[in-house]
Structure 1
Amino acid sequence: MICVLFDKWGLTEQEGCEILGCTLGEYQVLKTGEDEGVEAKVKERITEVSRINKGLRLLFKDPKRGEAWVKKPNKAFEGRSAFEIMKSDLVRVRKYLEAELW
């Protein structure tokens, strides 16, 4: 469930909404494990976040390091965190992780 992942990443509900591009109401629906009434674009962003999480799990053997990485400044993102980039460009973060893995 995406909201559990965001909790592990240390994100607030508002930050989760920023990444998914959804309303707080849609986020509350997602917290129940349902996605009825959630826009298709939000579902697409959930898929990208899942791919990012998979990359983190493969890249970092210690899950806690991967979870913390999301909010740490990163040279690859001009000193901004992956979280900051994900708000507007999930694909950039996913592609960065994929490149690191290859």
Structure 2
Amino acid sequence: MALLEIDTAARGFAPEPITDGEAAAMFRAAVNLFRHWRLTDEQAATLLDMPPRSYGRWKAGQIGRISRDGKARLSNLMGIHKALRIIFREPQRGYDWIHAANTVFAGRSALQVMLGGELTDLMRVRRYLDDERGGW
């Protein structure tokens, strides 16, 4: 029996870096998501770790260079959204869940956790949701 050849990227489990175009598309999707989550521009800027004025310009379509940290934040936000869409059949329930107190977060909402402002705060919420939905 012959073994299949595995390409080197797959062996190292190294995902391709997020391109600037992909990051810009994720940013536009995040703006829409933030509207569904009923976030203020200040809250959205905190989740993306950017000044509110910059967020306002980007939201208006003047998207600047997205840093590696920004790409990681956007990726985690998209992962949170995906997990909520899998967990809840009705999208509005997922949007509302962000604001609900949760014992897993010591009575705080997922939004309160994420507004801690650190990338690890977004990762914590995403990890919890991925575990709840059964991971991959």
Q: TM (normalized to structure 2)?
A: 0.69
Q: CA deviation at 1:25?
A: 2.8
- Report if the CA contact (8 A) 1:20-1:87 is conserved: no
User: For structure 1, which segment, 86-95 or 34-43, has the greater mean C-alpha deviation from structure 2 after superposition?
Assistant: 34-43
Q: Which runs of 5+ in 2 are unaligned?
A: 1-28
- Report if the CA contact (8 A) 1:14-1:24 is conserved: yes
Within the candidate set 70, 90, 94, 1:42 is matched to 70
Within the candidate set 94, 107, 117, 1:79 is matched to 107
Within the candidate set 51, 55, 58, 1:27 is matched to 55
Q: CA deviation at 1:33?
A: 4.8
Counterpart-to-counterpart distance in 1, 2:36 and 2:86: 16
Counterpart-to-counterpart distance in 2, 1:18 and 1:54: 21
RMSD over aligned Cα atoms: 1.5
State percent identity of aligned pairs. 34
Q: State the partner residue of 2:125.
A: 93
Which of structures 1 and 2 has the bigger CA Rg?
2
Q: CA deviation at 1:46?
A: 1.1
Q: Which runs of 5+ in 1 are unaligned?
A: none
* Letter aligned with residue 130 of structure 2: E
Counterpart-to-counterpart distance in 1, 2:68 and 2:57: 14
Q: How does 1:2-21 map onto structure 2 within 5 Å?
A: 2-21=30-49
Higher RCO, 1 vs 2 (CA within 8 Å, ≥6 residues apart): 1
Aligned residue pairs total: 102
SS in 1 for 2:108: coil
Q: TM (normalized to structure 1)?
A: 0.89
